Amino acid sequence: MSKRVIHWFRRDFRITDNTALAAAVAAAGGDGEVIPVYVMSDWKGIHDWTGAARQEFLCGSLASLGKNLEAIGGRLIVRRGDAVVELERLAAETGAEAFFANRDPDPYGRATEARLATLCQTKGVALSLHKDICIHERDEVLTGQGTVFRVFTPYSKVWFGLPKPAPSPAIKRMKTPEGIPSLPLPQLVDWGLISGPSIPEAGERAARERLKRFLEAAVGLYGDQRDIPSLAGTAQMSQDLRFGLISPRQIYTAAKKREAELAPEGRKSVMKFLTEIVWREFYMQLLWHYPELLEQEFNTTWRGMEWPGLKGHPDAFDRWCGGQTGFPIVDAGMRQLAATGWMHNRVRMIVAMFLTKDLHLDWRLGEAFFMRSLIDGEIASNNGGWQWSAGTGADAAPYFRIQNPWSQTKRYDPEGSYIRTWVRELRGVSKASLLDPPADGRPIAPGYPIPILDHASERDRTLDMFAHHKASLGR
């Protein structure tokens, strides 16, 4: 029997291997109708949780999705406002019998799902929610005692041991009823934003091409190159996963296929790459089990600890945001972020540790700034990365592991290539000047600041801060 159903697009903007969309098409039946809808939020202007890079990529992703749906006979309906109110209105207008959607593990997504479930119960409309954005979610990866893993390595062992679902093929045909009112596709200006960073091409095809290029050219060297920020040694697909232009199942399956073609060293690199995909799922399941992570330290010992900031520098946060700290590797990272909405993972760790352990600023400030600036801003991974760097998170390493930005530069950007790419003032500076603080205390280039602090002293201060807080607990 054919039906009329709604598929609610949230962060799954693709027609290939889209679990809920495939279920919606199947439930509608041969002559049935699917109403694919995206409900855009109606905030305007400054927002803690998103900014121009991510919204612009979202706009491009929706434009591409709209074309893909048209190519198979469908039509993307766009509405604006509160998702549950708009979905209720759409169901009432169209007489749809069911909603389909993919689950979102973050607290906001879950709260919206709960409200939609209540509405569906009241109205007698069916609701079908699906696992899609992870390969394994929620309670699928547990300890032998059935408890949640709080540490990554044993989690990943169990993750790898579980059977993996194969991706499903692209949907070939879909029918959307005529005459349903829709807003035009969203544009940045709808949120009061203007175009900023230069971002990659959006859309399902562009994401698949990025994966293909990475698997052909770089995955075999990933183990050696992933930490070198001047190289294109990583997949640069976090924005694609964030918006569901590609699924983790597609990535896993394609990487496994490539693994079989490679020599042993290359195969190890593929495993290393897949382990990063597992980090993403690890943080998502942590946030699912511990939603309080968004407000509080994962390690309860550090809850309530004060972050006093850098003495004598009320402008420290602004200087960090603007890439003006006088630490070339930190400034290069922050400027890459401003220019592209993306930052290399190694440098994310360096700048995050610098904010928390050198500037003594609360990790939540950095988390919010990243969330606003990143094209791939992902609540779970961002929170996990920040808490890991601050020494408050799900990490076996203790708080006193504090990276030295100068040693990190010597190790990961010894020629200064990454720094020179992003810090224009330093293009003509010798590599030796980039690897250590200036011995004479003078600027290394006109217009470039001297280092805002002495790393060794601030490291000691951080150790005192943590030790003092810990001691205060026993009092």
Ligand X SMILES: Cc1cc2nc3c(=O)[nH]c(=O)nc-3n(C[C@H](O)[C@H](O)[C@H](O)COP(=O)(O)OP(=O)(O)OC[C@H]3O[C@@H](n4cnc5c(N)ncnc54)[C@H](O)[C@@H]3O)c2cc1C
- By annotation, the residues acting in catalysis are 276, 279, 307, 345, 363, 386
**Token code pair at residue 29:** 């039946």
Residues counted in the chain: 475
Among 33, 113, 331, 378, binds ligand X (CB under 6 A): 378
The CA distances from residue 267 to 25, 129, 220, 253, 272, in Å, are: 38, 36, 7, 14, 9
277 contacts ligand X (rule: CB under 6 A):
yes
What gap in Å lies between CA 283 and CA 37, rounded to an integer? 28
Q: Which stretch binds ligand X (CB under 6 A): 95-103, 322-330, 378-386, 438-446?
A: 378-386
Q: Which stretch binds ligand X (CB under 6 A): 73-81, 135-143, 272-280, 285-293?
A: 272-280
Q: How far is the CB of 6 from ligand X (least distance, A)?
A: 29
Q: How far is the CB of 329 from ligand X (least distance, A)?
A: 14
Q: How far is the CB of 427 from ligand X (least distance, A)?
A: 25
**Token code pair at residue 291:** 């939603």
List the 77-80 sheet strands across, edge first.
Answer: 77-80, 33-40, 4-9, 98-102, 126-130
429 CB-contact burial (10 Å; exposed 0-12 / middle 13-18 / buried 19+): middle
106 contacts ligand X (rule: CB under 6 A):
no
Among 100, 243, 283, 327, binds ligand X (CB under 6 A): 283
280 contacts ligand X (rule: CB under 6 A):
yes
What gap in Å lies between CA 115 and CA 83, rounded to an integer? 10
Q: Which is nearer to ligand X, 12 or 376 (CB)?
A: 376
Residue 353: in which H helix or E strand, if any?
Answer: helix 345-353
- Selection from 190, 201, 171 nearest residue 79 by Cα: 190
Q: Are 35 and 177 in contact (CB under 8 A)?
A: yes
Q: How far is the CB of 363 from ligand X (least distance, A)?
A: 8
* CA-based R_g, the chain, Å: 24
226 contacts ligand X (rule: CB under 6 A):
yes
CA 13, chain centre distance (Å): 15
**Token code pair at residue 382:** 């961002």
437 CB-contact burial (10 Å; exposed 0-12 / middle 13-18 / buried 19+): middle
345 contacts ligand X (rule: CB under 6 A):
yes
Among 237, 330, 394, 452, binds ligand X (CB under 6 A): 237
Number of residues counted as binding ligand X (CB under 6 A): 28
C-alpha dihedral, 417 to 337 to 233 to 141, nearest 10°:
150
382 contacts ligand X (rule: CB under 6 A):
yes
CA 352, chain centre distance (Å): 15
241 contacts ligand X (rule: CB under 6 A):
yes
389 contacts ligand X (rule: CB under 6 A):
yes
The CA distances from residue 161 to 156, 157, 256, 281, in Å, are: 9, 6, 14, 15
Q: Which is nearer to ligand X, 6 or 286 (CB)?
A: 286
Q: Which is nearer to ligand X, 90 or 334 (CB)?
A: 334
CA 167, chain centre distance (Å): 22
The strand pair at 126-130 and 98-102 is best described as parallel
Q: Which is nearer to ligand X, 283 or 320 (CB)?
A: 283
Q: How many CB atoms lie within 10 A of CB 364?
A: 17
Residue carrying the six token digits 């809850």? 303
Among 206, 276, 291, 445, binds ligand X (CB under 6 A): 276
202 contacts ligand X (rule: CB under 6 A):
no
Q: How many CB atoms lie within 10 A of CB 351?
A: 26
Q: Are 378 and 280 in contact (CB under 8 A)?
A: yes
CB contact burial 28-64 (16+ within 10 A = b; e otherwise)? beeebbbbbbbbbbeeeeeeeebbbbbbbbbbbbbbb
236 contacts ligand X (rule: CB under 6 A):
yes
Q: How far is the CB of 389 from ligand X (least distance, A)?
A: 5
12 contacts ligand X (rule: CB under 6 A):
no
Q: Which stretch binds ligand X (CB under 6 A): 56-64, 238-246, 253-261, 301-309?
A: 238-246
Residue carrying the six token digits 């906001």? 108
Q: Which stretch binds ligand X (CB under 6 A): 228-236, 256-264, 392-400, 447-455?
A: 228-236
Q: How far is the CB of 435 from ligand X (least distance, A)?
A: 22
Among 200, 328, 377, 391, binds ligand X (CB under 6 A): 377
Q: Which stretch binds ligand X (CB under 6 A): 136-144, 166-174, 294-302, 344-352?
A: 344-352
Q: Which is nearer to ligand X, 100 or 298 (CB)?
A: 298
352 contacts ligand X (rule: CB under 6 A):
yes
Q: How far is the CB of 25 from ligand X (least distance, A)?
A: 27
Q: How far is the CB of 342 from ligand X (least distance, A)?
A: 7
Spell out, one character per residue from 357 to 376, where the chain touches ligand X: x when CB under 6 A holds, - when not. Answer: -------------x---x-x
Among 171, 349, 359, 453, binds ligand X (CB under 6 A): 349
Q: Is 169 helix (H, G, I), strand (E, B) or coil?
A: coil
Among 235, 245, 402, 435, binds ligand X (CB under 6 A): 235
Chain residues that interact with ligand X, rule: CB under 6 A: 226, 234-238, 241-242, 276-277, 279-280, 283, 345, 348-349, 352, 370, 374, 376-378, 381-382, 384-386, 389
